[in-house]
Amino acid sequence: MSLPVIPIDRKRVVAPRITRLTQPFWNALAEGQFRVTQCHSCGKLSFPPRAFCRHCWSRDTGWLTVSGKGRLYSQTRIHALPELFAGEPAPLHVGIVDLEEGVRVALPIHGDAPGLDVPMELVVLQFHDGPLFAARSVAG
Ligand SMILES: [Zn+2]
């Protein structure tokens, strides 16, 4: 299953710093998949991607593609943007989504979210120079 893709008619204000660790994540996102790291020792998930498990410190980890479905845990609007984000439209709407697989992701929120605990879905924001991820309310 592929995440919804929303075209954004500009370049990213801040492009992600892609490392050897995060390259598979960004490659998957460009193909509409959202991946988290999963520990092969204890099974727990981590995001952002990590080279070791933050629960049991095992280095035996791999990638898991998640559904992109979850619920809104928290949200806020940032009216005074840091200088780095000066090119972003203000206010910047950000939140935390608990994915149904049991991992928490901090991200921008696309559009309005009617309230906490509402169903959310991850989306790919396709900018001119590459993708970023966000979440939107399933209710619209
Ligand atoms: Zn572990």
Q: Which pLDDT score, from 0 to 100, does residue 95 have?
A: 97
Query: What is the per-residue DSSP string for 20-82?
Result: TTTHHHHHHHHTT-EEEEEETTT--EESS--SS-TTT--S-EEEEEE--EEEEEEEEEESS--
Distance 59 CA to ligand 1 centre (A): 8
The domain of 129 spans 5-137
Total number of domains constituting the chain? 1
Distance 140 CA to ligand 1 centre (A): 36
Q: Which pLDDT score, from 0 to 100, does residue 139 have?
A: 76
pLDDT at residue 140 above 70? no
Q: Which pLDDT score, from 0 to 100, does residue 85 have?
A: 82
Distance 110 CA to ligand 1 centre (A): 32
> What pLDDT, in 10s, does the model give residues 22-77?
999 999 999 999 999 999 999 999 999 999 999 999 999 999 999 999 999 999 99
> What pLDDT, in 10s, does the model give residues 76-114?
999 999 888 887 888 999 999 999 999 999 999 999 878
Residues in the chain: 140
Residues 35, 66 contacting (CB under 8 angstroms): yes
User: What gap in Å lies between CA 46 and CA 50, rounded to an integer?
Assistant: 7
Question: Taking the model in full, what pTM does it have?
Answer: 0.92
φ and ψ at residue 128, rounded to 5 degrees: -60, -35
